[in-house]
Amino acid sequence: MKIERDERKFDFHDIGLAIKKAREREGLTQEQLAFIIDRDPRTVMYHENDGQHPSLNVFYQLMTMFDLSVDQFFHPDMGADDACKKRINVLLNSMDEKELHLVENLIRAVKDARETEGA
């Protein structure tokens, strides 16, 4: 096996934009998010707008706080269905038993409606 350096560099811009959209969707300012993750508001701005890489801990905080999946960014060749299923799984993991039961019933209703249409 030939060993070579991996010269790939990860471009954080797309993840930064996803974090910005999620923050805005939640109605948070950069200052509020900075307080939550214990960083300077300029740091949040750099992550969102300039593609600056956060520390692993901050990255983890942001991705889990906003229920974002990194698969679409780290594995861009992944099929849309696979990426969607992974995002749904992330959301499911954050739910309690009652919420999961509601989602299960919704999925069953969609499946039953599809089968009824196809009959």
Write down the domain spans for the chain: 9-68, 69-119
Place 89 in a pLDDT band, splitting at 50, 70 and 90. confident
The mean predicted confidence, pLDDT, of the chain is: 89
More confident residue, 62 or 71: 62
Q: Model's pTM, two decimal places?
A: 0.62
The reported pLDDT for the residue numbered 79 is 66
Q: Are 71 and 14 in contact (CB under 8 A)?
A: no
pLDDT at residue 16 greater than cutoff 80:
yes
The reported pLDDT for the residue numbered 96 is 94
What topology is assigned to 9-68 in CATH?
434 Repressor (Amino-terminal Domain) (1.10.260)
Mean pLDDT of 46-71: 91
The reported pLDDT for the residue numbered 2 is 86
Mean pLDDT of 27-53: 95
- Cβ neighbours of residue 69 under 8 Å, at least 6 residues apart? 63, 83, 86, 87, 90
